Amino acid sequence: MALKLREGSETLSSFISALKCFLCFSAVGHVTPLLTVLSPSTKELQQGKATLMCVANKGFPSDWTLSWEVVGSSSWEESRSPGVLQKDGLYSWSSTLRLSADQWEKVTCQAKRGSKDPVLETFRRDQCS
């Protein structure tokens, strides 16, 4: 199947931009993602539950993995999404953590790639609004 691109088209421009980014990032080897931990909603906390989401943005290549460390709880559930390639040639990922609202003190989202030092973002229960 051949891909037809017209010169000057948005598709061609996007493809060339992504290719340039890929080549630049490949030469560097990796780009460390930026982590953000999103807090549970007040309504959910009132129901005795807590769902936190870790979003990792602008990383490269796609083989970074997200995991959680939980202090103050021995039981939780987590799920992860695969890396999604963005228009800028970098990847984003997310991981969701579900646990009891009152059974944790702090959580740390960790992004890891091979033997590189992990990237960490910590969220404390007392930060919930």
Cα dihedral value 16, 18, 19, 22, nearest 10: 160
**Domain 30-127 in CATH 2.60.40.10:** yes
In the chain, the amino acid numbered 86 is Q
Q: What are phi and psi of 58, to 5 degrees?
A: 60, 45
Q: Considering only CA atoms, which of 103, 128, 111, 104 is closest in space to residue 38?
A: 128
**How high is the pLDDT of residue 105?**
94
Rounded CA separation 109/15 (Å): 32
Question: Any residues with CB less than 8 A from the CB of 24 and at least 6 apart, and which?
Answer: 89
Rg over alpha carbons for the chain, rounded to the nearest Å, is 18
Q: Which residues contact 75 (CB under 8 A, 6 or more apart)?
A: 99, 100, 103
Q: Which position has the higher pLDDT, 24 or 128?
A: 128
What pTM, to 2 d.p., does this model score?
Answer: 0.77
| pLDDT tens-place string over residues 91-115 | 999 999 999 999 899 999 999 999 9
